[in-house]
Each structure stands twice: as C-alpha cells, then as structure tokens.
C-alpha cells in the first residue's frame, strides 16, 4: 500500500470522546490525517466536546442527516457523502469507531472504493439481534482489515467468527480519554432541593432504541424506577437524551417519568463524568457509560437483557436489570457493592490504547506488519492488566 493520509470518521459524542486520544496521538507522531464529521449527532451542544477535549475542528462535515428518519436513509445519506469525500481526499486508510450507523456507512464506502478499513473497538458482542448496534458491529468486523480489540473477550469473539482482518489487542480508548481529563474533574455541583440535606443520588441514562421506542418496555422501566426510588429512598437524576424525551411525549409518559426522576438538561462531558463519580449507583443502557462507571469504580445496573461489555459483569462492577423487578433487585445488590471489584485489574485497559492503535498504523500502511508485531501487542496488553491507581474509590 502506498504512503498516504488517513481519514478518521466520527459522528456522535461517544465517537469524539473515544477517538480524541487517537486523534491526539496521530498529531503527536505526525501522521497526515483528516477528520470527517458524519453529522449523526447534530445537536448544537456537540461543539462543546471540541472545547472540552481541545480537539481541532473536523475537516469536513456532512449536513442534512437530521432529516433522515430511518436507519436506511441515514446510512445511505452518509455513505454517499463519505464516498464523495474519500474520492476527493484519496486516503489509504479509513478509521471508524464503535457500532453506529455512520461507522457502518463510512466502512462500506471505504471498502467499495478498495480503501483499507480499521475498526476501533472491534469484537464486541451482545447477541441481541433486536439492536441495530449488533448488526453494525458484526458487519464492520467482517469487512475491516485492522481490528483494534479492547478486551480479551473481544479477541475471542473475532477468533471464533474467523474474521479475515488482522486482530490487534489494544485496550479501550475510553480509559485513555478518562486518563486525559481525570485530574481536571471536580465534585459535581447541582442546586436541587432533593440534595439540600442529603448528598446521595442515583444517576440514570436511557436512550437505546429497544428501550425507548417500545411503549410497554418504557412503561416497565418507569415502574422499575418507581420501585428503586421508593425502596432505596434516593433521588434519581436523569440528564435527558432528546430521543427519550421525544418518545416520552409521544407515548404521553413524560409526566409519569417526572414523578420518578428529576430530569436535567444534557451535561457536558466532564460534568457528566463528575456526576458519575459522585453517584451511589448508575442506571444505564449505554455501553460507554458502563465502561466509564466501571473504570471510575461506581457500581452500575445495566438496563438491558444482555450487554456487549460483559467484562464489567465478570469483575462485579455491574449487574443486568431488565424489567422492573430485576431492576430493583440489581439496584439493591449493587448499592451494597464495596467498589473494590474482585478482579485485580481494570477490564477495559490501562489507558494506552491510542498508542497501540497508532503504533500499528505505519507498519500496516507501509506493508511491514508481521506476526511478531501482533505477538508484541498481545504481550503489551497482558502486561497492562494491573490496577489503575489513577481511578481510586470515591
């Protein structure tokens, strides 16, 4: 493969957070690259991420994605625009992250143009075929030439599926991002009557399609929140996701939700991390929040039937809680957690994933990557399995 530039594709707030360490490392080593913003998240607040993380502005921004109302139209729109941009820039490698529609769209566009594709956070599996994320990540993993895997479990998943690409163990860049901002985090300050006399609270995030698009599932989650609030006698704060608020209004459930939780405006990244750190418990259906809570040593209940981050379950940092009764049972159990996970290392990496990702790129681009390099990456990841002193019990 000829020497040339890379294109890093991002389009959601989690993308910017998880790819920020990779972007900074690319700048540090002097690799020529462009940032393509696919526009999958089009909220004006997304610009705050650039300021908080001190990221440079994207080189190209796909517009009009907000008018696409289905997965097919959104994927098609981004794929067409990404193809046009790739033809103009002529990159030798495209990097995508995670399991979003835009990552699949950019991945497909790259492969159709015979451009090499690297998938950051490859190999995650939940086994839940109801979710678009599961479809996207499986397809991406089978068309990518470079598969940057966050955990041993993800390596095993890809090996079992006999993916044709090169598996490179790295750890998860979410830990790199936390490592970058952790010294700057401050105690979460929120002026609400419910915290006037008692600092304890539970933090909720809720946005996934299978949870909020089904009225019966959403009703059951609200019932579970009611059980938790009454039983644990602890206020629940919900930094609202626009999608969920839209569905609550559509199903005429917004008033019922406000009886169980205090709805807040979406929080900036660092303030949100501070809110996690100060919480007694996190209730979430987000994979990224599950990783962040585990790394920050805050117990979590995963509001899903299965998870693609089973590592946090294995170490005792989280439990599944799908359905109102299971939510309460899991919440009661995790509230008693010591926060000293039995596993002696953080399951999501040591905060050096970006270095391993970027370190592999020149060798691959110039055709000198070998089995010896892959074994070295495996050894580095094995050595990285030790306690993260930077993220103490709070």
CA distance 81 to 40: 12
- Average pLDDT of the segment spanning 260-268: 92
CATH superfamily of 6-172+349-383: Glycogen Phosphorylase B; (3.40.50.2000)
Lowest mean pLDDT: which of 113-122, 191-200, 214-223, 269-278?
191-200
Domain residues of the chain, as ranges?
Answer: 6-172+349-383, 189-335
Q: What is the pTM of this model?
A: 0.89
Instruction: Indicate if the pLDDT at residue 337 is higher than 70.
Output: yes
Burial class (CB in 10 A: 0-12, 13-18, 19+), 223: middle
CA distance 73 to 67: 9
- Average pLDDT of the segment spanning 184-198: 72
Instruction: Indicate if the pLDDT at residue 385 is higher than 90.
Output: no
CA distance 386 to 115: 37
Lowest mean pLDDT: which of 49-53, 70-74, 229-233, 389-393?
389-393
Instruction: Indicate if the pLDDT at residue 225 is higher than 80.
Output: yes
Cα-based torsion angle of the residue sequence 368, 371, 373, 375 in order, rounded to the nearest 10 degrees: 180
CA distance 52 to 229: 33
Decide whether 6-172+349-383 matches 189-335 in CATH topology: yes
pLDDT of residue 215: 97
* φ, ψ of residue 266 in degrees (nearest 5): -55, 140
10: left (phi over 0), alpha (psi -120 to 50) or beta: beta
Instruction: Indicate if the pLDDT at residue 388 is higher than 50.
Output: no
Instruction: Indicate if the pLDDT at residue 372 is higher than 60.
Output: no
How high does pLDDT run on average in the chain?
Answer: 87
CA nearest to 356, candidates 22, 53, 82, 38: 22
Count CA atoms within 13 Å of residue 77 on its CB side. 18
CA distance 84 to 90: 10
- Residues 104 and 139: beta-carbon distance below 8 Å: yes
- Write out the CATH class of domain 189-335: alpha beta
CA nearest to 281, candidates 229, 346, 323, 322: 229
Instruction: Indicate if the pLDDT at residue 177 is higher than 50.
Output: yes
Q: Kindly list the catalytic residues.
A: 207
- Average pLDDT of the segment spanning 333-345: 77
Per-residue pLDDT tens over the stretch 4-44: 799 999 998 899 999 999 999 999 999 999 999 998 665 55
- Residues 373 and 352: beta-carbon distance below 8 Å: no
Per-residue pLDDT tens over the stretch 43-101: 555 556 777 888 999 999 998 888 888 889 999 999 999 999 999 999 999 999 999 99
């Amino acid at each position: 493969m000829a020497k040339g530039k890379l294109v890093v594709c991002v389009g959601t707030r989690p993308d910017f957070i998880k790819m920020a360490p990779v972007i900074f490392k690319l700048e540090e080593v002097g690799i020529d690259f462009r940032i393509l913003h696919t526009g999958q998240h089009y909220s004006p607040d997304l610009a705050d991420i650039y300021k908080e993380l001190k990221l440079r502005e994207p080189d190209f921004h796909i517009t009009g994605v907000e008018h696409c109302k289905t997965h097919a139209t959104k994927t098609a729109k981004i794929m067409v625009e990404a193809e046009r941009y790739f033809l103009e820039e002529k990159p030798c490698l495209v990097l995508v992250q995670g399991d979003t529609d835009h990552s699949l769209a950019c991945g497909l566009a790259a492969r159709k143009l015979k451009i090499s594709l690297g998938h950051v956070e490859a190999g995650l599996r939940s086994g839940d075929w109801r979710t678009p994320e599961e479809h996207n990540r499986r397809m991406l993993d089978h068309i990518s030439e470079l598969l940057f895997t966050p955990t041993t479990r993800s390596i095993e998943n890809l090996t079992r599926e006999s993916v044709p690409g090169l598996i490179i163990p790295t750890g998860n860049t979410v830990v790199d991002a936390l490592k970058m901002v952790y010294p700057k985090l401050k105690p979460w300050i929120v002026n609400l009557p419910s915290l006037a006399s008692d600092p304890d609270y539970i933090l909720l995030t809720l946005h996934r399609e299978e949870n909020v698009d089904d009225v019966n599932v959403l009703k059951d989650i609200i019932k579970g929140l009611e059980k938790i609030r009454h039983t644990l006698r602890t206020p629940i704060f919900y930094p609202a996701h626009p999608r969920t608020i839209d569905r609550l209004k559509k199903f005429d459930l917004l008033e019922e939700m406000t009886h169980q939780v205090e709805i807040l405006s979406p929080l900036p990244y660092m303030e949100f991390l501070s809110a996690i750190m100060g919480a007694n418990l996190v209730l979430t259906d987000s994979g990224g929040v599950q990783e962040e809570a585990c790394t920050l040593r805050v117990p979590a209940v995963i509001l899903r039937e299965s998870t693609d981050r089973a590592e946090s379950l294995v170490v005792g940092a989280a439990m599944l809680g799908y359905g109102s009764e299971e939510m309460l049972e899991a919440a009661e159990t995790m509230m008693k957690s010591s926060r000293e996970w039995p596993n002696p290392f953080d399951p999501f990496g040591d905060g050096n994933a970006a270095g391993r990702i970027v370190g592999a790129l020149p060798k691959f681009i110039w055709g000198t990557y070998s089995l010896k390099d892959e074994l070295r990456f495996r050894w580095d990841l094995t050595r990285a399995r030790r306690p993260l002193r930077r993220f103490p019990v709070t």
